[in-house]
């Protein structure tokens, strides 16, 4: 059970949150211009990294806000939490 | 029976409080403070169970939670009996009943004992190898295997006990109340950290509290005496909460721990009554100090499992703590100095020690002199090669060890005994440490796995951190504690310490015998009867990974999870395979540390509290009117309303007819309702639904279909425009929360520029859906002022009205194909509005109907139910709902996917209607559909998704998904069932009122 520092509410137990998959995959602005392969890349392809992964989380049973998290999947260490629209930390 | 082995009174046992208990049907006596194990030993009972595979007699081996053998059935004759309880942990109480497990007819004469003599037939992997062929015989084998497998028997009725959960937050959690834990907790609390100290035993002080070694002194007192004073001081310390009989089961990330607090298991029946039995503590600690101690290792030699063979430390605890002698002729077998302490303890209490057998050449510890002075014979560099005695050890055979420790030489000496204490060194209890995700490192010289790192949030102190000797423990604890808590001084840093030091070490994982290994039985895992021979066999057969060897031989897979023997298993694998133990690693330590009963895990969430129920405001009316309910998500929905003597089928047929003939009423309160506001609300709906929304006039309703980005149907429902920038969306009952989540996701992450606000208002409104040709007349009676003409209040429109001064929203929408009005009232007036409709409808024989009739009526009209007729693989085109997909809109969720080559394939499964040749046969939902009957293998074209007998059409109707169904109109297909093949014809999905004339009837 992680302890997650919601950028809007503060530290809360993991059971208040929902994981939302890989972060920083932008929905194409003009889907009709894309080939099947390009659209499939957006739709289906996700990374599964051992190490630091950027992912989306939602404070589903709290403020309902979405935010981003950099998490080391090998030891579940949360390296950073930042708001939607913000750039991922470089380190 | 006499307490013939109770030797000396002990301060931990209350001899004035005599307690009777039953074991295997026989009555015995013990004292308050005894465990079942200590009381049985005091009564000279050593044989307590039979082993799992070979049914060998087994006795009590340890004095704690690591016990592999003495696992018993508590309350064996009750249907709430508890299996696999450790006799070493059960505190006796008046009326306790327990019995041996895995033996029939009795522990003294067990028919299964024949397995022991057939042992050569039961090698590792026996079951995998033997029962593979012929394959078809498996069911027969399984019957016999299942009957002879398993240890205890499980209870067969509901657990009547009360369990509880509690959340605890603390600054510092200390696990283990031995000397390290007590000093850590005391100093933490004294420095204003809110501290919680847990120990699985009922007494604080760990093994130090019954220590009698004169060479281990603190401030010139016996360590035990000094510690008692420290424990006494704990009472006066603020910020400190102590919980005994509390075992930490799991250590998860971010210092989240689960512990089981045992509240009443030690009480007699009268005192147990109406009390919480166990409590699961959910602990979130800022910092965790692990002081879980170490477990003594056995030695692995031939026939090392007989009753009377015990850990040396357990023999010491039974004598020093419980005042019980484990035997009258004791022998110790050791590879380190700790057995000498046990031997001396016994000797000082007048219990006879025959000899000490030490695999080392010598030891220069001071305690050796005391042993010599006591006249106890020490056999240096000897090893036990065999033991005798079937139900209790009677003698050992020893031989001189060769220099390299791989063989024995010389002549065999036999020594008689009735108890053998074995001391194979110590294993730090690192289970919780590794559960937390931290890594171990192997110390090659000391042959132990120890924690690799301490962190800012967690440290391991005392012997679980690898410090075994008193001065090491205290010095390192002092240093670690100051750093960890960031304090300048501890209250014990100035104490004076004296202790013996162990310098001579020798470790042999598998001790040699004069017989070949094939003829010996050196047990590594006592509970699962896995021997060193099995491990070697697994390696010979090519298993290399430690995890595979574990599963193949079942080493470490019992209820004790191999707490005693796992290290030896690793050692034997390393030695045999010629690899280093550090490189081999360990198997994974998984929670729980000791077994938990299911009651503790579920706590109060049983019976009606198992899950949350949601009930509509009209629920009481439904109950009064004898509704049968069905679960939809968390909702309790009226399913149908049977009249006296009616079956479900009869009730549904009656309700369905009434709704089309005159009037019906449905409680639709459970539909999800989302309030949508903001200047971009229309644009937002355009993007989330497949059809166009910009031109929807205020006061009008529209049906919408929502897709996933992959083009598959996700949800549907009617949305009404309440104002310029205000909509109310309805969703399916089960999809409400997910739809809101999905919409929020897009709003917050993809389209943050849109000015839209979403609010879930499902619970704010109660919905009564009036339907049928007389519904207009009924509504007119309720609201005479409202013009219900088709001009003023047409289909798919909305009116805000007052009913008895209650503001209600009425939508003229229909899910049945009949003229229909949905009255949405504030939830608290739901029942009143419902009653009003029933009253007004009486003269029209208004019939309340449930979800089943609703499903039937909509199926007659070919309306889909998302989740029943769709399954996440259906596009709107597959559903033949092309009309709802806007061609003009540039984009909406899922649009691009509708043009992927895969979703555009002609022969995808498509929704069609099915009519049976015999109109009385109703197809089974889920039944498969084929076009050929004599083909093998036959292609499955699809399956039936909805199927009913329609009373209004007087024939059976069905919806189905069929490959290329669109092009199969009129084709004859088959639905093969177990004992018949049903002929069906592909038809239109709309069975009733194809031209929608009844909407304006």
Residue-wise pLDDT for B19-48, tens only, equals 999 999 999 999 999 999 999 999 999 999
The neighbouring-strand residues paired with B269 are none
| Partner-chain contact B741 A2, CB within 8 Å | no
Nearest to B437 among A31, A32, A75 (CB): A75
**Residue B150 scores a pLDDT above 80:** no
Nearest-by-Cβ selection for B896 from A20, A39, A66: A39
> What pLDDT score was predicted for residue B118?
67
- Contact, B467 vs B459, CB < 8 A? no
Structure-token pair, residue B302: 């031939």
Q: Which of A20, A28, A40 sits opposite B745 (nearest CB)?
A: A20
Residue B121, pLDDT above cutoff 70: no
Give the model's pLDDT for residue B1.
41
Can you give the C-alpha Rg of chain B in angstroms?
A: 38
Q: What is the pTM of this model?
A: 0.89
Verify whether the Cβ–Cβ distance A3 to B710 is below 8 Å. Answer: no
What's the first-to-final CA gap in chain B, in angstroms? 92
pLDDT recorded at residue B165: 97
Cβ <8 Å between B748 and A66 = yes
Q: Shortest Cα distance from B741 to chain A (angstroms)?
A: 8
Q: How confident is the model at residue B490 (pLDDT cuts 50, 70, 90)?
A: very high
- Residue among B759, B766, B747, B853 nearest B808 (CA): B766
B5 vs A18, more confident = A18
Q: What is the DSSP string of chain A?
A: --EEEETTTEEEEGGG-EEEEES--PPPS-GGGS-HHHHHHHHH-----SSEEEEEEE-TTTT--EEEEEEETTTTEEEEEEETTSPPP--
pLDDT greater at residue B210 or residue B105: B210
Q: Give yes or no for A35 touching B (CB within 8 A).
A: no
- The Cα B121–Cα B135 span in angstroms is 21
Q: Cα B272 to chain center, whole Å?
A: 26
Query: Torsion-angle region of residue A76: left (phi > 0), alpha (psi -120 to 50) or beta?
Result: left
**Average pLDDT over every residue of B886-915:** 95
Give the rounded percent of residues in chain B with a pLDDT score beyond 70.
95
pLDDT at B104: 65
More confident residue, B286 or B561: B286
| DSSP E strands, B504-634 | 523-525, 530-531, 628-632
Closest C-alpha among B167, B455, B403, B382 to residue B285: B167
Asked if the model's pLDDT at residue B948 lies above 90, the reply is yes
**Separation of alpha carbons B474 and B182, rounded Å:** 12
B480-484, B569-573, B588-592, B620-624: least confident range: B588-592
Distances (CA, A) of B864 to B452, B816, B870, B871: 60, 11, 8, 11
Judge: B891–A65 Cβ closer than 8 Å, yes or no.
no
- Pick A31's closest partner by Cβ from B254, B748, B896: B896
Residues of B in contact with A2 (CB under 8 A): 253-254
B897/A39 CB distance under 8 A: yes
For residues B210 and B898, give the distance between their C-alpha atoms in angstroms, rounded to a whole number: 76
**Residue B732 per-residue DSSP state:** -
The owner of tokens 């208990």 is: B21
Strand partners, B294: B428
pLDDT at B882: 94
Domain definitions of chain A by residue range: 3-26+36-83
Contact A43 B253 (CB under 8 A): no
Q: Is the pLDDT of residue B6 over 90?
A: no
Asked whether residue B400 carries a pLDDT value surpassing 70, the answer given is yes
Please state the rounded mean pLDDT for residues B398-416: 95
Q: Which domains occur in chain B, in start order? A: 14-117 (3.10.20.440), 162-294+428-490 (3.50.50.60), 298-422 (3.50.50.60), 666-857 (3.30.1360.120), 899-1000 (2.40.30.110)
Q: How large is the average pLDDT for residues B978-1000?
A: 94
pLDDT averaged over every residue in chain B: 93
Q: Which two tokens stand for residue B890?
A: 């540039």
Give the one of B741, B750, B901 whose C-beta lies nearest to A27's C-beta: B750
Those residues whose C-beta lies under 8 Å from the C-beta of residue B403, and which sit 6 or more positions away, are none
Q: Residues of chain A whose pLDDT is less than 50?
A: none
CA distance B96 to B20: 8
Closest CA to B195 of B492, B485, B493: B485
pLDDT of B638: 98
B169 φ/ψ sector (left φ>0, alpha ψ -120 to 50, else beta): beta
Q: Residue B815: is the preceding peptide bond cis (ω within 30°)?
A: no
Is B286 in the A-facing interface, judged by CB distances under 8 Å? no
Please report the pLDDT score of residue B129 as a whole number: 63
B574, B596, B593, B600: which is closest to B585 by C-alpha? B574
How do strand B217-218 and strand B820-826 relate by DSSP bridges?
unpaired
Question: In this predicted structure, what is the pLDDT of residue B74?
Answer: 94
Give contacts of A64 with chain B, Cβ < 8 Å. 744
Query: Residue B127 has what pLDDT?
Result: 62
* Residues B339 and B421: beta-carbon distance below 8 Å: yes
Please indicate if any CB of chain A lies within 8 Å of the CB of B16: no
Cross-chain Cβ contact B752/A85 below 8 Å: yes
Q: What is the pLDDT of residues B779-795, one digit of tens each?
A: 999 999 999 999 999 99
Q: Which residues of chain B from 653 to 712 reach within 8 Å of chain A, CB to CB?
A: 709-710
d(CA B531, CA B544) in angstroms, rounded, equals 17
Q: Can you name the CATH fold of A3-26+36-83?
A: Folate-binding fold (3.30.2270)
Question: Distance (Å, rounded) from C-alpha B884 to C-alpha B898?
Answer: 13
pLDDT tens digits along B639-666: 999 999 999 999 999 999 999 999 999 9
Q: How confident is the model at residue B594 (pLDDT cuts 50, 70, 90)?
A: confident
Q: What is the distance, to the nearest Å, from the Cα of residue B37 to the centroid of all Cα atoms in its chain?
A: 29
> CB of A40 within 8 Å of any CB in chain B?
yes
At residue B921, φ and ψ (nearest 5 deg) are -85, 125
Task: Say yes or no: A56 contacts chain B, CB-CB below 8 A.
Answer: yes
- Name which of B168, B169, B254, B255 to mutate to probe chain A: the one with the most chain A Cβ atoms within 10 A of its Cβ: B254
Nearest chain B CA: its distance from A48 CA (Å): 20
Gyration radius of chain A over CA positions: 15
Q: Which residue has the higher pLDDT, B128 or B71?
A: B71
- Looking at chain A, which residue has its C-alpha nearest residue B250? A1
- Lowest-pLDDT choice from B361-365, B449-453, B589-593, B945-949: B589-593
Nearest by CB to residue A65, choosing from B253, B748, B899, is B748
Q: Do the chains contact at A32 and B890, CB–CB below 8 Å?
A: yes
Instruction: Please answer yes or no on whether B749 and A56 come within 8 Å at the CB atom.
Output: yes
Host H or E run for residue B533? helix B532-540
Residue B270 has pLDDT above 90, yes or no: yes
Report how far residue B492's alpha carbon sits from residue B230's, in angstroms, rounded to the nearest whole number: 10
What does the block give as tokens for B512?
């040699």
Tens of pLDDT, residue by residue over B660-699, are: 999 999 999 999 999 999 999 999 999 999 999 989 999 9
Q: Min CA distance, B694 vs chain A (Å)?
A: 20
Asked if the model's pLDDT at residue B131 lies above 50, the reply is yes
pLDDT at residue B53 in the model: 80
CA B88 to CA B84: how far, in whole Å? 12
DSSP B614: B
Nearest to B224 by CA among B88, B321, B351: B321
pLDDT of residue B589: 86
Band (B170; pLDDT cuts 50, 70, 90): very high
- At residue B620, the pLDDT reads 97
Separation CA A62–CA A17 (nearest Å):
8
Chain B positions in Cβ-Cβ contact with residue A63 (cut-off 8 Å): none
pLDDT at position B212, please? 86
What is the arrangement of strands in the sheet containing B82-86, beginning at the earlier edge strand?
Answer: B26-32, B14-23, B97-99, B71-74, B82-86
Angstrom CA distances, B920 to B379, B496, B992, stand at 91, 95, 17
Phi, psi of B138 (to 5 degrees): -55, -40
Residue numbers in B near A17 (CB within 8 A): none
- Residue B135, pLDDT score: 60
* Chain B residues lying within 8 Å of A1, measured CB to CB: 252-254, 256
Cα separation of B655 and B816, whole Å?
A: 12
- Which residues sit opposite B358 in a β-bridge? B334, B380
Q: How far is B167 from chain A (nearest CA, A)?
A: 12
Higher pLDDT, B142 or B651: B651
Q: What pLDDT does B136 receive?
A: 63
């Amino acid at each position: 059970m992680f302890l997650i520092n919601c950028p809007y509410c503060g530290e809360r137990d993991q059971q208040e949150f929902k994981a939302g998959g890989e972060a920083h995959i932008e929905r194409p602005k003009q889907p009709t211009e894309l080939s099947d392969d390009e659209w499939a890349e957006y739709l289906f392809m996700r990374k599964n990294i051992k190490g630091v992964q950027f992912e989306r989380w939602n404070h589903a049973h709290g403020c309902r806000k979405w935010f981003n998290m950099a998490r080391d999947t090998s030891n579940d260490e949360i390296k950073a939490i930042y708001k939607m629209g913000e750039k991922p930390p470089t380190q | 029976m006499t307490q013939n082995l109770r030797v000396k009174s002990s301060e931990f046992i209350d001899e004035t409080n005599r307690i009777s208990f039953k074991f295997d049907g026989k009555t015995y006596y013990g004292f308050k403070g005894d465990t079942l194990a200590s009381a049985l030993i005091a009564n000279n009972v050593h044989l307590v169970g039979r082993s799992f595979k070979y049914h060998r007699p087994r006795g009590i081996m340890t004095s704690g939670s690591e016990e592999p053998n003495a696992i018993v059935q508590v309350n064996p004759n009750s249907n709430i009996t508890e299996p696999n309880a450790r006799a070493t942990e059960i505190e006796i109480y008046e009326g306790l009943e327990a019995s041996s497990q895995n033996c029939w007819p009795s522990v003294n004469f067990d028919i299964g004992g024949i397995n022991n003599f057939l042992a050569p037939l039961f090698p590792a992997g026996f079951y995998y190898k033997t029962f593979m062929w012929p394959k078809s015989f498996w069911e027969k084998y399984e019957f016999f295997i299942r009957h002879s497998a398993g240890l205890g028997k499980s209870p067969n009725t509901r657990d009547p006990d009360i369990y509880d959960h509690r959340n605890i937050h603390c600054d510092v959690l200390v696990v283990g109340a031995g000397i390290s834990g007590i000093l850590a907790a005391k100093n933490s609390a004294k420095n204003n950290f809110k501290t919680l100290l847990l120990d699985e035993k009922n007494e604080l002080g760990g093994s130090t509290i019954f220590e009698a070694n004169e060479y281990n002194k603190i401030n010139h007192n016996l360590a035990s005496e000094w510690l008692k004073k420290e424990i006494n001081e704990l009472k006066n310390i603020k910020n400190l909460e102590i919980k005994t009989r509390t075992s930490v089961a799991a250590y998860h990330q971010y210092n989240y721990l689960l512990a089981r607090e045992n509240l009443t298991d030690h009480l007699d029946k009268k005192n147990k009554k109406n009390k919480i039995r166990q409590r699961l503590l959910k602990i979130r600690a800022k910092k965790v100090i692990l002081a879980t101690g170490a477990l003594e290792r056995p030695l692995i030699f031939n026939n090392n499992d007989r009753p009377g063979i015990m850990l040396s430390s357990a023999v010491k605890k039974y004598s020093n703590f419980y005042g019980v002698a484990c035997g009258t002729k004791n022998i110790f077998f050791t590879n380190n100095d700790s057995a000498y302490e046990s031997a001396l303890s016994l000797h000082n209490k007048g219990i006879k020690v025959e000899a000490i057998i030490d695999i080392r050449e010598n030891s220069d510890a001071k305690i050796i002199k005391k042993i010599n002075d006591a006249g106890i014979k020490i056999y240096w560099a000897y090893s036990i090669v065999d033991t005798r005695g079937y139900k209790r050890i009677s003698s050992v055979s020893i031989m001189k060890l060769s220099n390299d420790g791989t063989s024995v030489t010389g002549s065999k000496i036999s020594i008689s005994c009735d108890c053998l204490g074995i001391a194979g060194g110590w294993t730090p209890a690192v289970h919780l440490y590794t559960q937390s995700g931290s890594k171990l490192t192997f110390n090659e010289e000391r042959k132990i796995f120890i924690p690799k790192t301490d962190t800012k949030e967690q440290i391991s102190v005392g012997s679980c951190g690898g410090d075994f000797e008193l001065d090491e423990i205290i010095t390192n604890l002092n240093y670690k504690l100051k750093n960890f808590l960031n304090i300048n001084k501890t209250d014990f840093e100035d104490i004076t310490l004296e202790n013996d030091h162990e310098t001579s070490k020798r470790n042999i994982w598998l001790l040699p015998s004069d017989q070949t290994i094939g003829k010996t039985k050196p047990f590594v895992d006592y509970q699962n009867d896995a021997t060193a021979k099995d491990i070697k066999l697994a390696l010979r057969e090519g298993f290399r990974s430690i995890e595979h060897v574990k599963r193949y031989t079942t080493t470490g897979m019992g209820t004790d999870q191999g707490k005693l023997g796992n290290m030896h298993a690793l050692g034997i694998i390393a030695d045999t395979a010629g690899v280093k133990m550090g490189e081999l690693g360990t198997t994974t330590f998984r929670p729980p540390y000791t077994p938990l009963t299911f009651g503790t895990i579920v706590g109060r969430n049983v019976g009606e509290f198992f899950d949350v129920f949601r009930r509509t405001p009209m629920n009481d009316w439904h109950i009064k009117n004898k509704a049968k309910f069905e679960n939809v998500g968390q909702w309790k929905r009226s399913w149908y309303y049977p009249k006296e003597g009616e079956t479900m089928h009869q009730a549904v047929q009656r309700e369905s007819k009434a709704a089309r003939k005159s009037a019906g009423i449905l409680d639709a309160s459970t539909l999800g309702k989302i309030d949508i506001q903001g200047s971009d609300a229309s644009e937002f709906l355009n993007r989330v639904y497949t059809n166009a929304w910009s031109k929807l006039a205020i006061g009008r309703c529209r049906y919408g279909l929502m897709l996933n980005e992959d083009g598959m149907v996700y949800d549907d429902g009617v949305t009404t425009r309440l104002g310029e920038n205000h909509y109310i969306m309805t969703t399916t009952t089960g999809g409400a929360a997910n739809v809101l989540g999905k919409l929020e996701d897009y709003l917050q992450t993809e389209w943050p520029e849109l000015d839209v606000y979403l609010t879930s208002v499902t619970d704010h409104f109660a919905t009564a859906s009036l339907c049928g040709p007389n519904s207009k007349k009924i509504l007119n009676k309720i609201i005479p002022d409202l013009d219900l003409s088709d001009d003023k209040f047409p289909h798919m429109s909305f009116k805000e009205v007052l009913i008895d001064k209650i503001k209600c929203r009425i939508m003229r929408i229909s899910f049945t194909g009949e003229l229909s009005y949905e009255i949405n009232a504030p939830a608290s007036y739901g029942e009143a509005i419902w009653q009003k409709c029933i009253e007004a409808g009486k003269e029209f024989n208004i019939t309340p109907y449930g979800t089943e009739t609703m499903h039937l009526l909509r199926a007659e009209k070919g309306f889909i139910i998302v989740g029943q007729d769709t399954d996440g693989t259906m596009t709107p085109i597959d559903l033949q709902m092309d009309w709802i997909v806007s061609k003009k809109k540039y984009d909406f969720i899922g649009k691009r996917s509708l043009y992927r080559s895969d979703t555009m394939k002609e022969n995808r499964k498509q929704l069609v209607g099915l009519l049976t040749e015999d109109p009385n046969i109703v197809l089974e939902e889920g039944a498969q559909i084929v076009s050929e009957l004599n083909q093998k293998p036959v292609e499955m074209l699809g399956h039936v998704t909805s199927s009913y007998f329609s009373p209004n059409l007087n024939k059976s109707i069905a919806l189905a998904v069929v490959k290329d169904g669109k092009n199969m109109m009129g084709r004859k297909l088959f639905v093969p069932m177990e004992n018949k093949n049903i002929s069906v014809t592909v038809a239109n999905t709309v069975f009733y009122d194809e031209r929608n004339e009844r909407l304006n009837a």
